[in-house]
Structure 1
Amino acid sequence: MALQINATNPEHPALLLALPWHLPLEEWPEEYLVPLPRGISRHVVRYARAGDEVIAVKELAQRPALREYELLRDLDRIGIPAVDPLAVVTGRTDRTGEPLESVLVTRHLGGSMPYRSMFETTLRPATMHRLMDALAVLLVRLHLAGFAWGDCSLSNTLFRRDAGAYAAYLVDAETGDLHPEPSVGQRQYDLELARVNISGELLDLEASGALHPSVDPIDFGAEICARYQGLWEELTRTSVYPAGKYHYIERRIRRLNALGFDVAEMQIEHASNGDTVTFVPKVVDAGHHQRQLLRLTGLDAEENQARRLLNDLESWMATQADYAPGDPLGARPEVLAHRWVREVFRPTVRAVPPELRGAMDPAEIYHELLEHRWYLSERAQHDIGLDTAVEDYIRNVLPRARETLQPATD
Structure 2
Amino acid sequence: MRYIFRPPGTDGAGLLSLPWHLPLEEWDRSLLLDVPQRGISRHVVRFVAEQGQVFALKEIAEPLARHEYALLGEFEEEGLPAVAALGICVDRPGGQDAVLVTRYLEYSMSYRYLFSRPHGDHSADRLLDTMVVLLVRLHLAGVFWGDCSLSNTLFRLDAGTLAAYLVDAETVERHPRLSPGQRRYDVDLARERVGAELLDLQFGELLPPDCDPVEIADSLAPRYEALWDEVTREEVISQDEQRFRVADRLRRLNDLGFDVGEVDLVTTPEGGVRLRVETRVAEPGQNRRELFRLTGLEVQENQARRLLNDIRAYRAYLEQTTGGTVSEAVAGHRWVAEVYQPIVDAIPPDLAGRLAPAEVFHEMLEHRWFLSERAGRDVGMEEAAQSYFATVLPRTPEEVTTPSVIATRH
Aligned to 1:335: none
Alpha-carbon distance in structure 2 between the residues aligned to 1:190 and 1:123? 33
Aligned to 1:259: 256
Q: Deviations over 1:28-67 (max 9, x none)?
A: 1111100103311121111112333210000011111001
Task: Name which structure has the greater RCO, CA cutoff 8 Å, separation 6+.
Answer: 2
Match among 139, 142, 149 for residue 143 of structure 1: 139
Q: Contact 1:4–1:90 (CA<8 Å) still a contact in 2?
A: yes
Label 1:148 to 1:123 Cα distance change in 2 as closer, same or farther (>3 A): farther
Alignment of 1:158-237 (within 5 A): 158-237=154-233
Q: CA deviation at 1:153?
A: 0.1
Match among 210, 226, 234 for residue 238 of structure 1: 234
Alpha-carbon distance in structure 2 between the residues aligned to 1:15 and 1:124? 36
Q: Which amino acid aligns with 2:263?
A: M
Alpha-carbon distance in structure 2 between the residues aligned to 1:234 and 1:26? 46
Aligned to 1:351: none
Q: CA deviation at 1:213?
A: 1.1
Q: CA deviation at 1:361?
A: 7.5
| TM-score calculated relative to the size of structure 2 | 0.67
Alignment of 1:282-293 (within 5 A): 282-287=278-283
Q: Deviations over 1:67-101 (max 9, x none)?
A: 100000111111111101100110111xxxx2211
Q: Contact 2:80–2:138 (CA<8 Å) still a contact in 1?
A: yes
Alignment of 1:365-380 (within 5 A): none
Q: Contact 1:130–1:165 (CA<8 Å) still a contact in 2?
A: no
Q: Which amino acid aligns with 2:27?
A: W
| TM-score calculated relative to the size of structure 1 | 0.67
Match among 263, 266, 272 for residue 269 of structure 1: 266
Q: Contact 1:122–1:210 (CA<8 Å) still a contact in 2?
A: no
Alpha-carbon distance in structure 2 between the residues aligned to 1:251 and 1:17? 52
Q: CA deviation at 1:256?
A: 1.2
Q: Contact 1:121–1:210 (CA<8 Å) still a contact in 2?
A: no
Q: Contact 1:260–1:286 (CA<8 Å) still a contact in 2?
A: no
Alignment of 1:25-64 (within 5 A): 25-37=24-36, 38-64=38-64
Q: Contact 2:78–2:282 (CA<8 Å) still a contact in 1?
A: no
Matched residue count: 298
Alpha-carbon distance in structure 2 between the residues aligned to 1:29 and 1:278? 63
Aligned to 1:84: 84
Alignment of 1:67-82 (within 5 A): 67-82=67-82
State the identity as a percent. 45
**What SS does structure 1 have at the residue aligned with 2:30?**
helix
Which residues of structure 1 form unaligned runs of 5+? 294-300, 304-356, 363-410
Alpha-carbon distance in structure 2 between the residues aligned to 1:289 and 1:169? 15
Q: What is the root-mean-square deviation in Å for CA atoms of aligned residues?
A: 2.9
Q: Contact 1:8–1:87 (CA<8 Å) still a contact in 2?
A: yes
Q: CA deviation at 1:211?
A: 2.1
Alpha-carbon distance in structure 1 between the residues aligned to 2:272 and 2:222? 31
Label 1:199 to 1:289 Cα distance change in 2 as closer, same or farther (>3 A): closer
Label 1:183 to 1:302 Cα distance change in 2 as closer, same or farther (>3 A): farther
Q: CA deviation at 1:23?
A: 1.0
Label 1:58 to 1:72 Cα distance change in 2 as closer, same or farther (>3 A): same
Aligned to 2:153: 157
Alpha-carbon distance in structure 2 between the residues aligned to 1:71 and 1:215? 36
Which residues of structure 2 form unaligned runs of 5+? 296-323, 330-410
What stretches of structure 1 move > 3 A for 4+ residues in a row? 121-126, 285-290, 357-362
Q: Contact 2:79–2:282 (CA<8 Å) still a contact in 1?
A: no
